[in-house]
Amino acid sequence: MGVMKIEWLDKLGKRVATYWLGIVAFLMLLGLIALGSRYNFGVVEYAQFVLDGLRAGAIYALVALGFVTVYRVTGVINFAQGAFIMLGPMMTISFYEQGWFGTPALDLFTGALLAIGITTLIGVLVERLALYPARRTLPLTKVIITIGAYLALQGAALLIWGPQGHVLPAFTTLTPADQSFRFAGLLVKAQSLWIWGTTALALALLALFFERTILGKAMRACAVNRMAAQLMGIRVDMMATLSFAMAAILGSLGGIVLGPVTRPTYDMGLDLALKGFVAAIMGGLVNFPVAVVGGVLLGVLENFWAGVTQAGFKDLFAFVVLIVILVLQPYRFMMDSPTEVEPT
């Protein structure tokens, strides 16, 4: 049965699909503002929602980048990402408060670097010890393995740090008493600037890495066609390990910059990982720019939604979005989108 193809309609469809995120987000925003009119919110309130949402969104974007990096190279959805997010701030706090094996307490920067380094090592170990031996299994098996790795790391964290919330001090203090800018009724935490800066820097470095370095190009090659990459002499296994290391860096970095605006606990990772996953799936798990845009939009819309309805419904938003995307799979119709990664 042949379906008549009208070329211009097809083209229009693809164009719409490419910008679907923006279009849908804009319509949603209008709807949410309409919902918010019940509360007599002014511009200030809406601007505050957007500002706060941008902060969460930046973190979701960082996490989403970790998902996409691993998925493109290995075809695995890596839920251990949640553990990386948690390990970063928790270890930083330990180093900041107690130092490293009896040394006096380290400063925040050194502590954070050490924490990122160790998390990266753990990321590598997760790949080498848990996923590499299972490289010939079904993708589903690998996903379950990453969930297992997440649970194991979370359990270890509970033993080490206990169930209570910990405190990571803000990176910069404007005045000792107040760590926020206030202007025109808006409140911006100094830490938000760190979060936005870190995300932007991470994005720029990732772009440089993938565009300008041999290693980055080799990783992209693995993503495009693993068999061909292997025939070209690229060590695909090493690339998989490298992708986990990068995911660990992105995750722990995100967790650390987020640390001061929350109270890190051993179980903080999964929620953030799931939100990051929602952002990553917007681009079909393979598209870096869409993952970033998706993360930021998710953060803003989610916060808007929680602001104009009951805050208890906040998480509902992200997961309804997730289901809708999984059912409609709009990323399949995008122009110039990399095709799905073939599992080994």
Partner 1 sequence: MKVRHELLLVVVSIAMVALFVACAPAPTPTPVPPTAAPTVVPPTAAPTKPPATTASPTTAPTAAPKVGVVYKIGFISAATGAAASLGVPERDVAKLVADQLKAAGGIVGPDGVKHEVQILIFDDQSSADTAATLARRLIEQEQVHVLVASTQTGTSTAIVPIATEAKVPNISMASARSLIEDPQTKKMREWIFKPVPENSHSAGKQAEYLKAVGVTKVCHLYENSSYGQDTLASANAVFPTAGITIVYSDAFDPKATEFPQLAKVKASGCQAVVIGAIPPASPVMNVAVRDALPDVRIVHGHGSCSPDLIKAAGKAAEGTVMPCGKILVADSLPDSDPAKALNLKLIKDYATVSKEPISTFAGHGYDALQWAIAALKTLPNGGALAEQRAKIRTALENLKDFPTTHGLYNTSPTDHLGFNASEFAFVVVKDGKFVVLPKEQWK
Which residues contact partner 1 (rule: CB under 8 A)?
39-41, 45, 48-49, 52-53, 55-56, 59, 91, 94-95, 97-98, 101, 118, 121-122, 125, 128-129, 156, 158-167, 177, 180, 187, 189, 258, 261-263, 265, 267-268, 271, 303-304, 306-307, 310-312, 314-315
- Min separation Cβ 122 and partner 1, Å: 7
Distances, alpha carbon 9 to alpha carbons 16, 27, 131, 150, in Å: 10, 22, 44, 45
Nearer to partner 1, 190 or 285 (CB): 190
Nearer to partner 1, 318 or 341 (CB): 318
- Min separation Cβ 27 and partner 1, Å: 20
- Min separation Cβ 295 and partner 1, Å: 14
Nearer to partner 1, 172 or 329 (CB): 172
Provide the Cα torsion 31, 188, 193, 80; round to 10°. -60
- Min separation Cβ 273 and partner 1, Å: 12
Nearer to partner 1, 5 or 38 (CB): 38
Nearer to partner 1, 4 or 311 (CB): 311
Report CA 133 to chain centroid distance, whole Å: 26
Q: Which residues contact 62 (CB under 8 A, 6 or more apart)?
A: 198, 199, 202, 250, 251, 253, 254, 276, 295
- Min separation Cβ 285 and partner 1, Å: 24
Nearer to partner 1, 129 or 134 (CB): 129
Report CA 320 to chain centroid distance, whole Å: 18
| Whole-number Å distance between alpha carbons of 68 and 88 | 20
- Min separation Cβ 317 and partner 1, Å: 12
Residue type present at position 206: L
| Whole-number Å distance between alpha carbons of 73 and 285 | 11
Distances, alpha carbon 108 to alpha carbons 92, 95, 97, 254, 255, in Å: 7, 8, 9, 15, 14
